[in-house]
Structure 1
Amino acid sequence: MRSESYSHTQQNNIHLASIETFILRFPLATPVRTSFGVMPARPAVFVRVTDRDGISGWGEAWCNFPACAAEYRQALITEVLSPLACKHIFPSPQALFASLSQQTAVLTLQSGDHGPMAQAIAAIDIAVWDMCARKAGQPLWRYLGGSQDTVTSYASGINPTGSEELIRQKIAEGYNAFKMKVGFDSEQDYHSVSMLREIIGHDRRLMLDANQGWSPQDALASVLRLAEFSPLWIEEPLRADSTPQTWRELAEGSPIPLAAGENIAGHNAFCQAMDNFGLRVIQPDIAKWGGLSGVLALLPEIKRRQLQYCPHYLGGGIGLLASAHLLAASDMPDGMLEVDANPNPLRHALCGPLAHPVQGVVALGDAAGLGIEPDIDAIKDRLAG
């Protein structure tokens, strides 16, 4: 990223007039399985901010679990955050993000709602960045300071069983990298990963995601066994709250690089994890913590430590597209964007060019902001039909 990035944001004061929220759900014919539970539907909380000049921007909050998560994030945005965000004039998106975080800090401690509040703030932050880029007439990746618009994507969310047809479909669509869920029965994990490697061959990249499903002992045994399939990384092989020593010991014994970040929140927490966990791949999720402002500030820390930035994402198309713009702006050529392989019109209808990779690569283009104008009513009609 260019060192002069973001100076233009100081020239456009942010004075919000309204914040609207929209909840949509897409029921899944084949639920997504993880080591900790099953997702029977794909929910989304989309946010539209509009300033006093009538310019709008779009964001999204993480809300996958539990089933009532979407409604709760919506209530936090509408009842708690909207009055705070619309009350003052802010010199930049970062200033608005900092203000919302500071003004809700004690409330968050009192209620224990660290995750939901962070996700609600993240949605507003993403929307404000989109609004500012639209107002400047620039694509978000350029407004964020990037110099090129391409990102490499990979197909994610692949279930351990019954995924053969989906994998072949994604190969036909242009994907060259795939990530499978593990963390189940040891034999099932082995045979599932063997199946994936056999279908994709040895020229395509393979990654694994254990979703915090292993004990330290099981994690080491599993990575040693699965290493024969040459995974690029193993994601969350341990619980996110495992001690730094536990992470380091696994990293030292694992032939597979360790990845984590979707369940880390806060700049200091990320820096401590990067310094103490032995991670090689860092995976913040802009819809779970930080929005664009928080993760943007992490990028120099990731680059300085020579780690790989591969944003986590498992939601609708707005947050996915924002993740892609931030990855493009990072100017880290080894980064890869996670794209859920499972059917989801809440993603597909709103992710613009990400729906059509060419050899795994997507060009985001020069349209202002995120480059899309969501038609929520049309998506609702499609879901109803």
Structure 2
Amino acid sequence: SGGVSPNMVLGQMPTRPALLVRLMDAEGCYGWGEIWANFPPRANLHKAHVVEDVVAPALKGFGFTTPGEVIGFLRERFSIYFLHVGQQQVFEHILAGLDVALWDLALRNAGQSLASNLGIDCRAANTYASSINPLDLEGMVQSHAGMGETGFKLKLGFNDDLDRDFIRQAADVLPAGTRLMVDTNQAWCMSRAKNMLGYLEQFDPVFSEEPIPANSDYADWEALAESTSVPLAAGENIYGVDEFLRMADAGVQYLQPDVAKWGGVTGAMELIRSLPHGVSLWPHFMGTAVGQMAALAITSLGGDQSTCEMDVNANPLRTDLCGDVLTIHDGCVDLPGGPGLAVSPVAEQLQAFQEPAFHNGELN
């Protein structure tokens, strides 16, 4: 763990926790993945215990041809178990991270990148600057505009008057040709959302992310979408292609799956194939370089219609863990040139950020 937490209505992370998983086959080839663990504190340790105690033993010696076969096997084996213990979404997080690791392993084995495996030419992914707070607004905008990024996402949901001031300040400092977007982390009720979106309309934002709770009735999402010209976005708290498509039917124009939280690579690619006309896929991500590279690979498949979230806040798990692999230029990040989804973590960095509860990568 390590890094600086953005200020969010959900609260701040005491550290920037993360959970990486490495799978190795019988020939010694390996793949890296990331399991979502931002909240609550020490979520990474809890999920690591679950992986080691419950899931990993079932994978020893398991043969497969595609990552989907493994995920299907695990769903059949453990869905009732995680239903019984009340941790179905924790199970989804674990499956997502394992799917990323399985794709990384399979691609390394095949000597291919994701793009070459799919027979397409994708060498870079579009990015936008995310999780900007008022105190660092001007500096962050200047810095990331200098890298060619044209989208800047503000964290809202604290106090409506302060949020309006923040939006106005951001609009004043954004360079020509750039646009803002906002993320409320599910904080508004319907009446507040309609009020604030009405105010936002004059600034022509790209979208408003999670203005109401993700599990609100589809009728509420539809009513909110019909009440405003501001496009709605959601996805980091949606599970399953069918649920994403229902949200699109309810008027959500930007779908934001998180490869470390639901579906991994397999789910995201299925969603891309199912996207309705007029709906865009903009992957959500706030974690380490391992998961970020997977999210960027997915983003690249959408071309100019897809842009990936990149946190602006200091986090060496993103900037240092795998070396200098996430440099932003012209608003894009180049994808790794070698086989696999991600560049492997640097051994010294992995050791430096390891939780005290671990020893040589294993739980004590």
**Could you tell me the TM-score, scaled by structure 2's length?**
0.92
Instruction: Determine if contact 2:3/2:317 at 8 Å carries over to the other structure.
Output: no
Deviation at 1:172, TM superposition (A): 2.8
Check whether the contact 1:26–1:383 (CA below 8 A) recurs between aligned residues: no
Partners of 2:262 and 2:167 in 1: CA distance: 30
List aligned pairs for 1:171-210, cutoff 5 A: 171-210=145-184
Are residue 323 (structure 1) and residue 295 (structure 2) matched? yes
Find the counterpart in structure 2 of residue 355 from structure 1. 326
Q: Which residue of 1 aligns with 2:66?
A: 92
Q: Write the letter of the residue equivalent to 2:142.
A: R
Indicate which of 287, 301, 307 corresponds to 2:274. Answer: 301
- Give yes or no for the alignment of 1:290 onto 2:263: yes
The 1:94/1:143 distance shift into structure 2, 3 A limit, reads same
CA gap of 1:352–1:306, structure 2 versus 1, over 3 A, is: farther
1:208-227 → structure 2 map (5 Å cutoff): 208-227=182-201
- CA change 1:40–1:32 in 2 (3 A) is farther
- Partner residue in 1 for 2:283: 311
Q: Deviations over 1:70-116 (max 9, x none)?
A: 01111111111111222421221111111112211101111110121
* Number of the residue aligned with 1:245: 219
Q: Does 1:147 align with 2:121?
A: yes
- Equivalent position SS for 2:131: strand
RMSD between aligned alpha carbons?
1.9
1:232 alignment counterpart: 206
Aligned residue runs from structure 1 range 1-385, under 5 A: 25-28=1-4, 31-275=5-249, 277-302=250-275, 304-328=276-300, 330-350=301-321, 355-381=326-352
Q: Does the CA-based 8 Å contact 2:321-2:350 persist in structure 1?
A: no
Residues 352, 369 of structure 1: CA spacing in aligned structure 2 closer, same or farther, 3 A cutoff? farther
Q: Distance in 2 between matches of 1:359 and 1:191?
A: 30
Question: In the alignment, is the contact (CA less than 8 A) between 1:59 and 1:126 conserved in 2?
Answer: yes
SS in 2 for 1:285: coil
* Conserved? CA contact 1:47–1:124, under 8 Å: yes
CA positional deviation for 1:354: 5.7
Aligned equivalents of 1:371, 1:162: Cα separation in 2: 30
Cα deviation digits, residues 298-341 of structure 1 (max 9, x gap): 11111x4331110001111100100111121x244211000010
**Cα distance change on mapping 1:201 and 1:159 into 2, 3 Å:** same
Greater mean alpha carbon deviation, residues 149-158 or residues 173-182:
173-182
**SS of the residue 1:99 aligns to:** helix
CA contact (8 A) 2:323 2:345 kept: no
Counterpart code for 2:85: S
Partners of 1:40 and 1:64 lie apart in 2 by: 10
Alpha-carbon distance in 1 for matches of 2:93, 2:220:
28
The percent identity for this pair of structures is 32
Are the equivalent residues in 1 in contact too, given 2:201–2:229 (CA < 8 A)? yes
Larger displacement relative to structure 2 (85-94 or 185-194): 85-94
Distance in 2 of aligned mates of 1:168 and 1:139: 33
Question: What is the alpha-carbon distance in structure 2 between the residues aligned to residue 120 and residue 37 of structure 1?
Answer: 23
SS of 1:49's equivalent?
Answer: strand
Residue 382 to residue 298, structure 1, CA distance change in 2 (3 Å): closer
Q: Using the alignment, how far apart are the partners of 2:330 and 2:66 within structure 1?
A: 37
Query: What is the identity, as a one-letter code, of the residue corresponding to 1:278?
Result: G
Indicate the SS of the match to 1:147: coil
Whole-angstrom distance in 2 between the partners of 1:301 and 1:352: 35
- CA offsets, 1:53-79, max 9 Å, x none? 110110001000000210111111111
- Residues in 2 aligned to 1:27 and 1:309: alpha-carbon distance in whole angstroms: 28
- C-alpha contact (below 8 Å) 2:281/2:306 kept by paired residues: yes
* Segment drifting more, 93-102 vs 244-253: 93-102
Q: Which amino acid aligns with 1:37?
A: G
Whole-angstrom distance in 2 between the partners of 1:269 and 1:193: 31
Q: Please report how far the alpha carbon of residue 233 of structure 1 lies from its aligned counterpart in structure 2 after TM superposition.
A: 0.4
**Matching residue of 1:11:** none
Whether the 8 Å contact between 1:27 and 1:40 is mirrored in structure 2 is no
Q: Counting strand residues as a fraction of each chain, which structure ranks higher?
A: 1
Q: Is residue 148–residue 331 contact of structure 1 (8 Å, CA) maintained in 2?
A: no
Q: Secondary structure at the match of 1:238?
A: coil
Please list every run of 5 or more consecutive structure 2 residues that lacks an aligned counterpart in the other structure: 356-364
Aligned residue for 2:2, secondary structure, equals strand
TM-score norm. by structure 1 comes to: 0.87
> Separation in 1 of the partners of 2:51 and 2:69?
18
Per-residue deviation, 1:164:
2.6
Q: Distance in 2 between matches of 1:199 and 1:175?
A: 14
